[in-house]
Chain A
Amino acid sequence: EPEVTQTPSHQVTQMGQEVILRCVPISNHLYFYWYRQILGQKVEFLVSFYNNEISEKSEIFDDQFSVERPDGSNFTLKIRSTKLEDSAMYFCASRNRGDADTQYFGPGTRLTVL
């Protein structure tokens, strides 16, 4: 069964450093998402992406964040200058056009900012 994959599983970085989180969505999916979950809190929407552009972004997704689909398979989230409060699990999700709203989540990347 096709799955969303994410790398790395755990990323440790120093405050102020740039990080890139990588995702490979399910191959025939067209809509891509990033969510985050701070430890003990709810899953929060960050950004949605379709047809090579951002469809929607939350207030969390400020100028420090960017997304890119550099090729036909990868979908990346970049945080330009990490802050302590960026420490969280970051989940990539994808869905197909005819699949209503059903989003399938990847295993997540745990980001720890020191």
Chain B
Amino acid sequence: QKEVEQNSGPLSVPEGAIASLNCTYSDRVSQSFFWYRQYSGKSPELIMSIYSNGDKEDGRFTAQLNKASQYVSLLIRDSQPSDSATYLCAVGYRYNTDKLIFGTGTRLQVFP
């Protein structure tokens, strides 16, 4: 059974701070990793994808992948109130199956 685990939160950070969101996954054959942002009542919106160990930066967002420890994280620098949402971690398996396995999401609250 493939599992993706996230702390449900809420994670509360002040405006301008760094928000750190974490995700662990159970299956070592996982190949691809995604962070989606989901506002209440809306659909998942892709923020970042990462496939190799290490860091990947895109604007204020940095995804970090550590396959040996089976975790992936998302850092949001200079957090803004508009970043307040639920962040979904999703894992793909590329060659074995086409589906994405989602975690339950971490709710982030950025307060002014």
Q: Which residues of A contact B (CB under 8 A)?
A: 31, 33, 35, 41-45, 48, 50, 55-56, 58, 89, 91, 100-108
**B80 close to A (CB within 8 Å):** no
CA distance A48 to B46 in the complex (A): 19
Q: Which residues of B contact A (CB under 8 A)?
A: 31-32, 34, 36, 42-46, 49, 51, 88, 90, 92, 94, 97-105
Contacts A42-B102, A101-B100, A108-B42 known; 7 new A-B pairs at CB < 8 A: A42-B103, A48-B99, A55-B98, A91-B43, A100-B51, A103-B46, A105-B36
CA distance A104 to B44 in the complex (A): 8
Name B91's closest neighbour in chain A (CB-CB).
A101
Separation in Å of the A26 CB from the closest CB of chain B?
Answer: 12
CA distance A44 to B104 in the complex (A): 10
CA distance A107 to B44 in the complex (A): 8
Question: Nearest 6 pairs between A and B by C-beta?
Answer: A101-B92, A45-B99, A43-B102, A101-B32, A105-B43, A48-B98
Separation in Å of the B3 CB from the closest CB of chain A?
Answer: 10
CA distance A42 to B32 in the complex (A): 19
CA distance A56 to B98 in the complex (A): 8
- Evaluate contact between B44 and A43: CB separation under 8 angstroms: yes
Contacts of B94 in A (CB 8 A): 100-101
Separation in Å of the B22 CB from the closest CB of chain A?
Answer: 16
The contact sample of 14 A-B pairs, CB cut-off 8 A, is A35-B100, A42-B103, A43-B100, A45-B99, A45-B101, A50-B98, A58-B99, A91-B44, A100-B51, A101-B32, A101-B92, A101-B98, A102-B46, A105-B46
Name A43's closest neighbour in chain B (CB-CB).
B102
- Evaluate contact between B42 and A56: CB separation under 8 angstroms: no
CA distance A91 to B42 in the complex (A): 10
Name A107's closest neighbour in chain B (CB-CB).
B43
